[in-house]
Each structure stands twice: as structure tokens, then as C-alpha cells.
Amino acid sequence: MPSSRQQATTYFRLFQTKLKTLLSQKSILDQPDKPTTNHHNKGMTNVAIMQRLQELTHGLFFMSESDYPLEVVEFDKVEAAELSDAEVKQMAGQPSDAKVEAVDLAYFLRNMTKAAPEADDAAKQIAERYQVLQAYMEQHLRDVKVFRVGRREVVALAIGILPEGGYGGFKTIVIET
């Protein structure tokens, strides 16, 4: 069984490889958001918001015990005061007995939006991309929450209400043992 140091080295090398791949692609950070006048951007269409989310999430991976990409999702639903656990489980494609937990987006992304002071430029750029994604979602969607559904292989739905109705955001998988 590999030591903790060997595992950390392996994870670090995997992370470096993914960063190099991402940096070889066109930088999302080079595409600034258009200025807006309304916190919830009623002037922007759902289509425009979802397209921008697609750009912002492209090539991003959520790092846990295994790394999974962020996948943009949109759900047509009449706006309700709160999503029920049953609705969240259905959106996540999980069984009716799955555990549901809601957390703030900032809390969920806390380890992704910060880079260690000694981190290289690639790691700092990834953290900045997550900061841009978080700010965009908080500005363009209402009532943004992250619903964690499941126990070991957790489906995380980071969604909020779109200006024209329905829900949009991203989903990913978080492995917890």
C-alpha cells in the first residue's frame, strides 16, 4: 500500500497534468463578463446565461478523492419557494432514499477558489477561474445553492433560479470515503 507521501505525489502529478491540458486551451479568463445593471439580470436570457456557464465551466474539474468535470445543467421547473428533497433527487438522478444536504456555493467551492501562496501560476489561474464562476453564478442566478445528493459518490448540483424561470448551474461528482 502506498504511503501518504506517495499518494500526495501521485495526486500532485495528476493535478499538474490536468492544469497543463487546461492551460493549452483558450483561456476563459480572457473573456470578461459584460457589465450588468441588475443583480439578477432580468435583461439576460436563460440561453445567454447557460452559454456563458458552459464557457466558464469548460475544462474545470472538481477535485476530491477523484476528479470529475463540471457539467452544465438546466431544469425546466416552475419557480417554487423551495425545491423539495424529492425534486432535488430527481434532478440529480438519484434514488428516493438518497441523502440530500444543501450548502452555500461559497462553502462548496472554498477549496477550489483559493490557491496556496507557493502554488504555481497554473494553480492560481484555476483558482481564479473558480472565483469568476462563483461570482457569475451569484450575480446571474437567484437563490444559488449546492445540493449534495448521496453518500459516498455524491452528486453535487450547484443551481439557482434563471431570470426566465427554471434552474441552471452545474453538476459534478464528489467522491467521499
- Note down pLDDT in tens along the chain; length 177 residues: 555 444 444 444 444 555 444 444 444 444 444 433 334 555 789 999 999 999 999 999 998 888 999 999 999 865 566 889 999 999 999 999 999 999 999 999 999 999 888 889 999 999 999 999 999 999 999 999 999 999 999 999 999 999 998 999 999 999 988
Do residues 158 and 171 touch, judged by C-beta distance below 8 A? Answer: yes
Domains, the chain, in order of start with CATH, read 4-175 (3.40.1460.10)
pTM for the model: 0.75
Helix 46-57 to helix 121-140 angle (10° resolution) is: 160
What's the CA gap between 32 and 53, in Å, rounded?
A: 13
Contacts of 12 (CB under 8 A, 6+ apart): none
pLDDT value, residue 177:
81
Do residues 15 and 117 touch, judged by C-beta distance below 8 A? Answer: no
| E strand spans, 13-166 | 61-63, 67-69, 71-75, 100-103, 142-149, 153-161
Question: Model confidence over 108-120: pLDDT tens digits?
Answer: 999 999 988 888 9
